[in-house]
C-alpha cells in the first residue's frame, strides 16, 4: 500500500456530491482495527435501525464495548481530522461515533435513506452526510457493493481496504447481498455546517480552485477575490 499523504490533491468522484477518499486509513491502522475487532461481540444490526430500515436490514454490528470502541474511534477520528477531502467535502460540525458492521453470506441491506435525526445517548443532530469506510479488501468477498441512487442513475461502490466514500444521507442507497466471504465496514454520519448538498458541492469545487490559486499565485488580486468569496459563502450558508 502506498504511504498516505494528506498533501495529495483530493480525489472527487461526482454523483450528487459523492466523494471518494483513497487511503483514509493506512495499512498499520487497518491492522490495528482488525486486531481490535477480532473476538468482538457482534449483534443483530436491526437493533440500531429505525422502523423502516429495520425491515430491510440484514447485517451484524459490533456491540458497543466502551474500551474497544474508544480505541477504534481514536484511530478513525485521527485520520478524519487531518484529511482535506473530508474537511472540505463534508464541512463537519458534528460527527457521530462510528458503527462497525459486517456482512456474511446471505446478508444485505435493502433500499433506505438514513435517519434524519441521530443520537440516542448524547446530543441529537441532523444527518447530512453519510460515510462508509471499507475495512477489508474487495477480494475477500463477493457482492456487498454499496449502491447509491441519484438523479444520474445508480453508482456501485466497492473500494479497497482503507478507502472511504462520502454521500448525502438523503440519498436512496442499499448494500447488495454478500454471496461469499465477509464484508467489514465502518459507518458514520456528519452534521455539516452547510446543510444543502448543492451548496456543499459548490463550496468543495470552489475550494479546489482556491487552494490551487493560493499555491500558484498567492499574492495575486484574483486569488484574494476567490479566497474571500469562499470564506464569505461559508459564512452566508452556514447553518449554526
User: Do 132 and 146 fall within a single domain?
Assistant: yes
User: Do 227 and 149 fall within a single domain?
Assistant: no
Q: How many whole angstroms separate alpha carbon 26 and alpha carbon 3?
A: 7
8 Å CB contact between 127 and 166? no
* Lowest-pLDDT range of 5-14, 65-74, 84-93, 144-153: 5-14
pLDDT tens digits, one per residue of 143-193: 999 999 987 789 999 999 999 999 999 999 999 999 999 999 999 999 999
Torsion of Cα atoms, 23 then 103 then 107 then 109, to 10°: -50
Q: Which domain holds residue 131?
A: 19-192
Domains: count for the chain: 2
8 Å CB contact between 18 and 165? yes
Residue 70 lies in a domain: yes
The pTM is what? Answer: 0.90
Higher pLDDT, 145 or 11: 145
User: Do 106 and 206 fall within a single domain?
Assistant: no
Strands 141-143 vs 117-118: parallel, antiparallel or unpaired: unpaired
Q: How many whole angstroms separate alpha carbon 66 and alpha carbon 69?
A: 5
Give the residue-averaged pLDDT of 83-95: 96
Residue 145 lies in a domain: yes
Cα radius of gyration (the chain) = 18
pLDDT tens digits, one per residue of 90-107: 999 999 999 999 999 999
User: Do 138 and 203 fall within a single domain?
Assistant: no
Amino acid at each position: 500500500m502506498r504511504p498516505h499523504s494528506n498533501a495529495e490533491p483530493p480525489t472527487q468522484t461526482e454523483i450528487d456530491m459523492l466523494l471518494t477518499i483513497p487511503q483514509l486509513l493506512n495499512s498499520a491502522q487497518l491492522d490495528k482495527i482488525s486486531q481490535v475487532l477480532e473476538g468482538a461481540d457482534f449483534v443483530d444490526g436491526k437493533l440500531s435501525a429505525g422502523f423502516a430500515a429495520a425491515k430491510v436490514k440484514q447485517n451484524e454490528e459490533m456491540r458497543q464495548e466502551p474500551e474497544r470502541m474508544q480505541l477504534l474511534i481514536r484511530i478513525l477520528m485521527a485520520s478524519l481530522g487531518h484529511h482535506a477531502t473530508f474537511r472540505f467535502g463534508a464541512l463537519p460540525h458534528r460527527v457521530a461515533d462510528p458503527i462497525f458492521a459486517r456482512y456474511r453470506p446471505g446478508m444485505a441491506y435493502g433500499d433506505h435513506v438514513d435517519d434524519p435525526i441521530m443520537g440516542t445517548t448524547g446530543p441529537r443532530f441532523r444527518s447530512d452526510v453519510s460515510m462508509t469506510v471499507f475495512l477489508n479488501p474487495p477480494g475477500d468477498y463477493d457482492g456487498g457493493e454499496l449502491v447509491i441512487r441519484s438523479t444520474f442513475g445508480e453508482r456501485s461502490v466497492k473500494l479497497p481496504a482503507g478507502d472511504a466514500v462520502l454521500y448525502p444521507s438523503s440519498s436512496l442507497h442499499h448494500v447488495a447481498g454478500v454471496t461469499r466471504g465477509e464484508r467489514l465496514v465502518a459507518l458514520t454520519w456528519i452534521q455539516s455546517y452547510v446543510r444543502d448538498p448543492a451548496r456543499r458541492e459548490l463550496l468543495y469545487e470552489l475550494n479546489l480552485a482556491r487552494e490551487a490559486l493560493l499555491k500558484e499565485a498567492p499574492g495575486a488580486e484574483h486569488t484574494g477575490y476567490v479566497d474571500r468569496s469562499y470564506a464569505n459563502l461559508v459564512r452566508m450558508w452556514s447553518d449554526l
